[in-house]
């Protein structure tokens, strides 16, 4: 059986049971629930502080009508950041490398922001498709361009997350294989490659957190335009 570098991205099944459901429920299991004690332990306090701070920062530029999205967006952020970081452990499957999952998050949420905008403030929502002060000959061209960019948004959201994580995991596997293969032949080069691997892993930890944040931030921006 020849193992290809893309086998790590195959959605795992065992005896016909899709294990991605298990992978997706792991963040829920790992994130501790607040107790009804007056003072929680350090981990819970830190978690509560992080969630509060994040929600506050995210909701700052959004009008009151958009604040009902606070729970959804914070929960999405926690899920994505946990999935991404867990995926960096060896032999762990990362659900966010699956385009279907990321599009499943991006398209409905983006569509919801567009529909909210069209329902609550149709004039402003349509008016945003033409930048202010456009010279008259450019108006039709720019409207077409802005419409295309509107519809590209969910695609970009989903593909950005998928591509970043897939590329990162692939690079880690490639460089790790290189270091492993080089070890008996050229130990010095293998050590250099391992250093690169270490730095890359640090980068991937950062990318995992940043991509989750960017996903949620862009959604909040789209909401801000429409609410």
- The yes or no reply on residue 61 touching another protein (CB under 8 A) is no
CB of 187 to another protein, least distance (A): 58
Kindly state whether residue 139 participates in binding another protein, applying the rule CB under 8 A: yes
User: Among residues 10 and 124, whose Cβ is nearest to another protein?
Assistant: 124
- Sign of the Cα torsion 201, 205, 207, 212 reads positive
**Phi and psi, residue 186, nearest 5°:** -130, 85
Q: Is residue 144 part of the contact set for another protein (CB under 8 A)?
A: yes
| Smallest gap from residue 171 Cβ to another protein (A) | 38
**Rounded to a whole number, what is the distance in angstroms from the first to the last CA of the chain?**
54
Nearer to another protein, 123 or 188 (CB): 123
Q: What's the CA gap between 207 and 51, in Å, rounded?
A: 20
Distance, C-alpha 177 to centroid of its chain = 27
Q: Which stretch binds another protein (CB under 8 A): 36-44, 67-75, 117-125, 174-182?
A: 117-125
Q: Which of 136, 184, 185, 188 binds another protein (CB under 8 A)?
A: 136
- State yes or no: residue 60 binds another protein (CB under 8 A): no
Judge contact between 80 and 210, C-beta under 8 A: no
Using CB under 8 A as the binding criterion, the count of chain residues that bind another protein stands at: 18
Residue 206 in the binding site for another protein (CB under 8 A): no
Pair of tokens at residue 144: 């077409």
- Dihedral, 101, 206, 109, 155 alpha carbons, nearest 10: -70
The site for another protein (CB under 8 A) is made up of: 122-124, 126-136, 139-140, 143-144
């Amino acid at each position: 059986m020849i193992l290809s570098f893309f086998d790590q991205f195959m959605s795992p099944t065992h005896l016909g049971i899709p294990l991605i459901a298990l992978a997706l429920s792991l963040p829920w299991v790992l994130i501790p629930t607040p107790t009804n004690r007056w003072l929680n332990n350090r981990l819970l306090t830190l978690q509560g502080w992080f969630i509060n701070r994040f929600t506050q920062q995210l909701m700052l530029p959004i009008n009151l009508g958009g604040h009902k999205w606070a729970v959804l967006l914070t929960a999405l952020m926690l899920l994505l950041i946990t999935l991404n970081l867990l995926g960096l452990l060896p032999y762990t499957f990362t659900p966010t490398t699956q385009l279907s999952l990321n599009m499943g998050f991006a398209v409905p949420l983006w569509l919801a922001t567009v529909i909210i905008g069209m329902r609550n403030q149709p004039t402003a929502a349509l008016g945003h498709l033409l930048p202010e002060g456009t010279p008259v000959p450019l108006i039709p061209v720019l409207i077409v361009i802005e419409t295309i960019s509107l519809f590209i948004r969910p695609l970009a959201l989903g593909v950005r997350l998928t591509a970043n994580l897939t590329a990162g995991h692939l690079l880690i596997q490639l460089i790790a294989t290189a270091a492993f293969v080089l070890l008996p032949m050229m130990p010095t080069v293998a050590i250099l490659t391992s250093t690169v691997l270490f730095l890359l892993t640090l980068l991937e930890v950062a990318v995992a957190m940043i991509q989750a944040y960017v996903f949620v931030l862009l959604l909040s921006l789209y909401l801000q335009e429409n609410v």
